[in-house]
Structures are given as structure tokens and as C-alpha cells.
Chains A and B, each alone.
Chain A
Amino acid sequence: MAKITFIQPDGSQQTVEAKTGMTVMEAAKLNDIAGIEAECGGACACATCHVYVDAAWREKTGKPAEMEEDMLDFAFDVRDESRLSCQIKVSDAIDGLVLRVPSKQF
């Protein structure tokens, strides 16, 4: 189990509980987090579950794999802390994770 906090561009926050083994995108969708579209359903085939990982958590969540980097090419305003949330697995190690939702998915 892990608690994950999503911060919207307007500063509003929502903390959800996610089960180990699911993806952060799935946890977001289950809890109706605004701005996480996940058009392809988690196949790493779009870039509409783009999030910014809080600086304190970047080491724990790791770097995007090659396929994810390729998909991030299709996202907007990609930064060093960009990840696709369908590619972050929930585990005890990320309990407390803080993510920012971008102003636009496209």
C-alpha cells in the first residue's frame, strides 16, 4: 500500500491509497483524478497520463525506460521530472509519493 498525492495546476491536492502492484495511473483513474486521461489504457502507447514527480521522490520512482522516453516525445511541456504514470508501479517504497498533474495532456 502507498499513499499518493496528486497536485493539480491550481494547487488543489488529493491523496489516494493505492495497492501494491497496480500502476500509479490505475490508482489515479480509480480515484477520478482530474487531468490523468490514460487514453490508451496503460499500454504505454499514448502520453496522456503524464505527471511531474516531486523532486524528493525522483530517485525512488526512477528514470523512464526507453519506450517511455519515446512516448514522452508525444507529451507537452516535458521536463526532467516527467514520467508516464502508467509506468510507475505502486510499492511500499513510494508511500507518500507526491506528483504534479500538468496543465494539459494532449
Chain B
Amino acid sequence: MAVAERSFAGVPRPEERPSFMRRLANQPVGRLLILPALVYAILVTQLPFLLTIWYSLQRWNLNRPERRAFVGLDNYWFLLTRDPTFREAAVNTAVFIVAAVFLSLLLGLLYAELVNHKFPGRGIVRTLLITPFLIMPAAASLTWKYQLFNPNFGVINWFTRSVLPGEVSPNWLGNFPAGSVITVLVWRWAPFMMLILLAGMQSISEEVREAVRVDGATAWQEFRDITFPHLSRFLQLGGLLGTVFIVQEIDPIYMLTKGGPASQSTTLPYLVYEKARESFDVGRGAALGVIVVLISIVSITLLLRLLDRLIKEA
């Protein structure tokens, strides 16, 4: 995952070992241009991760620093075998990711197909559809929580009460916490999928489309036989990027449900926050962080491979 910084093997002159600055100055210019950004990224992102691994092997609660000790894999063992919250959060994470990625891809596909046709105000509709992704997640989540999901004063329940028979007025966040969080995630990420899929749709050659239309294909047949097969790579890209980014979203969870009721909407990244910042448990928080990264590595690896293929083709 982390590519180690290669040693800069400038050729030393035979008579003397040149100084560090001298060797640096003799590097090809390309390397010198890369160096500042590379060093920055290593220091700010890799160093903390190495420390996370180190802390994950220790018993260390900031409330009881005197009991700090090296405990090997105990934190992992505890989380995996004796912590029911961990298991629930692991299941929730899987459910959230699969549901949110799949549904936002599906909705994004619908959005993209809709605005991929000419109609009056197409530009405005596309802008409207993109907007949820631009809205700060904190603000969006609060709007959903109070103005839409609220059982008494929320618009959604006003709608269900006045349209559906029998005064249906569920407590969304209390009774369907996972569904509510997923709804907001899908609302936020469908525009992202739309943008990627739209780029894919617009790279289909017009001649091919014309040809099937001349043959009398309906809009559905054209979508099924031409658009969809062409999109598979864009769907993969959207799905993998979505997976990687949606795992990182904890603000909607914090704003909407605080992981509850109990831990019904707690995901692993959210649990890291709780362990470390609310119960001051550095060791277990770090161990959880490592586990989150290990889980992400699967999708990250797939994503890197796909990006590699895409670069080669471009």
C-alpha cells in the first residue's frame, strides 16, 4: 500500500563522498520537483499510521495513564472476541457500504440517463441533481434530521399522514436508524455516481446510437444493449470510489443518530471516534483504526488496479 520512498542513489564521485546537499542538487530535476510533496505526504499520512499500529499494541487509557503497558495483540483479541459493539459495528459497516454504494449507483444511473437526453432546462435539472453532493454533510444531515425526519414536524411524516391512509407517522431515526442514515448517504452520493456515469455515457459514439435508432430500437433497448454494457467500467470506478469515500463518512451518523439507538447505526470508523475521543481508550481506538484500514485495503487495492488500467488507456 504505502510505497516506501526509494533511496536516492545519486552516483557518488570516486574521490570523496559528496555532501547530502550536493547529492540532492545532482538529482534529476524530476525527482527534485516531486520531493517536497512526497516528503509532506509521508510525514503527515504515513507516520501517524505507523504510530496507530504501535499504539494498537498497548494498553493505554488516557484516564489511567499509569496502567499503560505493551500488551501485544490483546486489544485486537478483545475487539474480535469480547466486544459485542465491535461485531455489531462490523455488520453495520458492511450493510451501510453495500446498501449505500449499490443504491447510489442505481439512483445515479437514473439521474444520468435522465439528463443524458435533450429537454428544456436540462442544464438546470443537472445542477439541481448535483447540489446534494455539494452541501456540507453536517448541514445536510441536520436539515434531514429536523425538517424531514422529525416525527411531528417533519415534512416526510406530514406527507405520509396526509397521503397514506391510517395516520402513518413512524419515528424514522428511532425505529429505522440504519435506513435513515443510508437514505441520507444515498441522497448525497447519487450525484457523484451520476457525474461519473454521465461522463461514461457521453463517451459513447453518436454513430453507434444513431445506428440502433435507425434500426428502430426503443429507449430501453438502446440503454440495455448500448449504454449499459459500455458503462461497466464506469460503474466499477463509481462503486470502488464510493466504497472508499463512504466508509469515511461519519458526519451524517454523528448528526443523525450519534450511532444509536444503542449501537444500531454505529459503523467501525464511528466506533474509532467513540473509543478514542469519548472513552479515551487509545489502545483499542488504535486497534480499531488498524482494522478499518485493513478492511479498506481490499477495495483500495481493487481501485488502484482499475485506475492503473484507466491511465494506460488514456
A and B are interacting partners:
no
